[in-house]
Amino acid sequence: MNINGSTVLVTGANRGLGARLVAELLRAGAAKVYATARTSGTIAADVRADPRVHPLALDITDQASVEAAAKAAPDVTLLINNAGVLAFGGVLDGDLTAFERDLATNYLGTLRATRAFVPVLKRNGGGAIATVLTLIALAPATGMAGYSASKAAAHSMTQSLRAELRDTGIEVIGAYPGGIDTDMLAGIEATKAAPEQVAARIIAGITAGEQVIWPDDASAGAGAVYLSDPLALEQLLAG
């Protein structure tokens, strides 16, 4: 999809990868970017200063908020589902309330936003939906069982959507990063890519028409393992 001249809505755009995606979209020539956040006032002042940026309140776990955003942004041609949360915990001892929160945001929230914007994209003649998943949607990482399951559900949703929207002209894209250096992994020892680089590779992948994007070196390597032998990736990530 050509980013130049597009109208994009990014969820969770106030910090982390979402903020870098907004910067990259502007650099790539997007005509308008709805930079959305649970509290729209948290979009940085220098980002707001660009006349192409339209801050908008959007909590993807809140149906009324999602419906209001779809009404307020009727010209969207590219939806980027970026918002997400991560709770740490093992499959046997992780806090189930935290597992539910991850599912409510990463799976059901992403699905809720997607459902609201499919009619908008259809009315605007096609476009694309890009969802930020994670490498560990494909095989879980130790100590992140609930998060991995929630992202696996979002991965499955992406596949269902691709089938369902096949004849509509709407592209359905999944991005599968490895670790990224944002608040989400603060204090965790891991290989982490710079969020600016991940954002640039996601936008380049969307532009190139890729349906599956490996937006950093670690995910590109692990992705190749997954594509040749899914069980080998499971063993690799299990440590």
Query: What positions carry a catalytic annotation?
Result: 147
CB of 193 to ligand NAP, least distance (A): 8
H helices of the chain, in order, are 16-27, 45-48, 63-72, 96-102, 110-123, 145-164, 195-207, 217-228, 230-237
CB of 133 to ligand NAP, least distance (A): 7
Cβ closest to ligand NAP, residue 66 vs residue 128? 66
Phi and psi dihedrals of 168, rounded to 5? -100, -10
Cβ closest to ligand NAP, residue 6 vs residue 219? 219
List beta partners, residue 80: 10, 130
CB of 86 to ligand NAP, least distance (A): 6
Cβ closest to ligand NAP, residue 48 vs residue 122? 48
CB of 61 to ligand NAP, least distance (A): 4
Residue type at position 77? T
Phi and psi dihedrals of 186, rounded to 5? -60, 135
Cβ closest to ligand NAP, residue 7 vs residue 14? 14
C-alpha span between 87 and 185 (Å, rounded): 10
- Reading the block at residue 35, the tokens are 């930079």
The site for ligand NAP (CB under 6 A) is made up of: 11-12, 14-18, 37-38, 58-61, 82-85, 105, 109, 132, 134, 177, 179-180, 182-185
Residue whose Cβ sits closest to ligand NAP: 16
CB of 239 to ligand NAP, least distance (A): 17
- Reading the block at residue 21, the tokens are 């995606």
Instruction: Name which of 35, 56, 144, 158 is nearest 107 in CA terms.
Output: 158
Cβ closest to ligand NAP, residue 67 vs residue 125? 67
C-alpha span between 61 and 81 (Å, rounded): 13
In total, the chain counts a number of residues equal to: 239
